[in-house]
Amino acid sequence: MLEDMAPGQPRARGLGRGVVRIRAVAGSARLRILGWQLLLVALALFGSVLAARQVLLARVAERVDQGLAKEVSELRRFVDTSVDPTTGRSQFAEVRALLKAHLERAIPDRNQTMLALVDGVPAYRSAETPPYRLDTDRAATAAFASSVAAGQPHYCSAA
């Protein structure tokens, strides 16, 4: 191969030694130490991201729980203080009328909607048009209805 080279071109020397040097560097202690350090940094980064994720999810769950508690207290206050517009009495004759009157007066936060289910079927929702219509999502309403039937609170955020 080297004989086929044109005259005047420098001959490559020590081709075998270059390959040996690359292998020596790849197996050197410095490179192994660097690899272990990178592995430790990656593990530390993964652990910190996982811990931060858990903290943020706990905070979101806490905020949702506080928001739901606030809505429940507002609904209870509405039940105690309002008058049924159809009968003029201090108590509502039926749940549908109560929920309709409450949702007509309720003002949801930004990117929030309120949905009332009666017998597992969406009856009313708050006046603002939400970014995602939960009342038309059969899977979501079925999940809400089944969790209410089981006595478990259920919430969903669609932002």
Asked, for residue 135, whether it belongs to a domain, the answer is no
Tokens of 84: 């049924």
CA distance 133 to 38: 46
108 contacts 134 by C-beta, under 8 angstroms: no
Domain with 76, as residue range(s), is: 28-81
Asked, for residue 91, whether it belongs to a domain, the answer is no
Asked, for residue 13, whether it belongs to a domain, the answer is no
Asked, for residue 49, whether it belongs to a domain, the answer is yes
Tens of pLDDT along 16-69? Answer: 555 556 555 556 888 999 999 999 999 999 999 999 999 999 999 999 889 888
Predicted model pTM: 0.55
Q: Which residues contact 108 (CB under 8 A, 6 or more apart)?
A: 114, 126, 128
Backbone angles phi, psi at 134, to 5 degrees: -70, -25
Tens of pLDDT along 131-143? Answer: 677 777 788 778 7
Among 91, 111, 110, 109, residue whose Cα is nearest residue 101:
91
Asked, for residue 126, whether it belongs to a domain, the answer is no
Asked, for residue 41, whether it belongs to a domain, the answer is yes
Task: Give the number of domains in the chain.
Answer: 1
Tens of pLDDT along 96-131? Answer: 888 888 888 777 777 777 778 777 777 777 777 776
Asked, for residue 1, whether it belongs to a domain, the answer is no
Asked, for residue 145, whether it belongs to a domain, the answer is no
Q: Which residues contact 154 (CB under 8 A, 6 or more apart)?
A: 143, 144, 147, 148
CA distance 60 to 63: 5
The size of the chain, in residues, is: 159
